[in-house]
Chain A
Amino acid sequence: DAGVIQSPRHEVTEMGQEVTLRCKPISGHDYLFWYRQTMMRGLELLIYFNNNVPIDDSGMPEDRFSAKMPNASFSTLKIQPSEPRDSAVYFCASRTAGGWGTDTQYFGPGTRLTVL
């Protein structure tokens, strides 16, 4: 398996523009997570899905952020409009539903977003 795939790997955009980050989880994984990592705030969970359904979006910073998972093999995180403080590395992770919570999360390579 290719692992969790994220695109783009780098994104540089201007303030006010719409940004869409993409994630393809590992095939067969039932959970998908979106995280944001910054120096100031560390690793933050933004939202996670179980079987394509959003379960907990309490970490989404504000209405400018939205996430979708239209099917089991694809998810998007959208920021509209983007602001400089959104600059961060955004990670997607996935895991199986089995094992009563013992299963490892597998992280993608991340998207480094810079908003000018």
Chain B
Amino acid sequence: AQSVSQHNHHVILSEAASLELGCNYSYGGTVNLFWYVQYPGQHLQLLLKYFSGDPLVKGIKGFEAEFIKSKFSFNLRKPSVQWSDTAEYFCAVNRGLTNAGKSTFGDGTTLTVKP
């Protein structure tokens, strides 16, 4: 069974610091990769996704992620975080091509940005 690992459970940064959240998955075939964000008290919403083409994907609010197939990774980055980025971030993977229904989510990383 495929799994998704998010190595950092809780990250604390000061405003303007750079961010990188790790995500690794175990499935060896074609995958579609997602980052979702959950702001305090809200539901999950899509931040960005990758399914083909340029492995560097840009999302909303200045976030980007890089798909490195050889490392089975899809790390999320932002050069300068803001207090409003405080949230929980989930990496998710589903299998491509077969239109498999479900996504496998990581355990999430809680980001706290200090003003």
Contacts and interface: CB of A to CB of B under 8 A. Distances in A.
Nearest to A43: B105
A6 B92 CA distance: 22
Listed residue (A42, A100, A110) with the most chain B CB atoms within 10 angstroms of its CB: A100
Nearest to B49: A104
Interface in A38-60: 42-43, 45, 48, 50, 55-56
A114 to B, nearest CB: 15
Interface stretch (B15-23, B75-83, B96-104): B96-104
Contacts of B49: 102, 104
Interface in A47-90: 48, 50, 55-56
B90 interface: yes
B73 interface: no
Interface residues of B, number: 26
Interface residues of A, number: 22
Contacts of A99: 51, 99
A110 B6 CA distance: 23
Interface of A: 31, 33, 42-43, 45, 48, 50, 55-56, 91, 93, 97, 99-102, 104-105, 107-110
